[in-house]
Structure 1
């Protein structure tokens, strides 16, 4: 699987192309990343449902499920990093 097809790299490319525009705020970045995550999961679910009825190409099914798995792993990694950063902030002496 090509790295360019991952959720993180697509979100990074989207952010890089919007540099200098008004919508390049962190909130819009996370909103677009969340929308991309949801669409990736939805495509994987649709592929799985179509495969159950026999209307889907097996190769496309494997690709869609691999992209969904990668998207979930990316989201979990980001969540873990945010939790680690929050815990580090809590450990700071005031």
Structure 2
């Protein structure tokens, strides 16, 4: 089987200069507090990578299909949570736009 040189997660791993400056300023303001959004994105990315790895292992080497189903269910749950959070943020933004000035 040929290996694909494209990794969909590289965009999430690369730091942009503007983002680095913004996150450094935010970290300086909050001190030792952890960035909850960054942790959530990291957990989401890890769940997707685990599900993808389990699916590939099952398809290629015939690994345990129960592990693949569990990993895919976890990734689906994480995706549903991310979509719900996104919807709530968009809804809150729309409410702000509707407020009279």
State the structure with bigger RCO (CA 8 A, min sep 6), 1 or 2: 1
Aligned length: 71
TM-score (norm 2): 0.66
**Are 1:36 and 2:46 matched, yes or no?**
no
Deviating above 2 A after TM superposition, structure 1's stretches of 4 or more consecutive aligned residues are none
Which structure has the bigger radius of gyration?
2
Unaligned runs of 5+ in 2: 1-30
* d(CA) in 1 for partners of 2:87, 2:63: 35
**Are 1:66 and 2:73 matched, yes or no?**
yes
* d(CA) in 2 for partners of 1:43, 1:23: 27
Match of 2:32 in 1: 22
* d(CA) in 2 for partners of 1:55, 1:46: 12
* d(CA) in 1 for partners of 2:91, 2:60: 43
Unaligned runs of 5+ in 1: 1-20
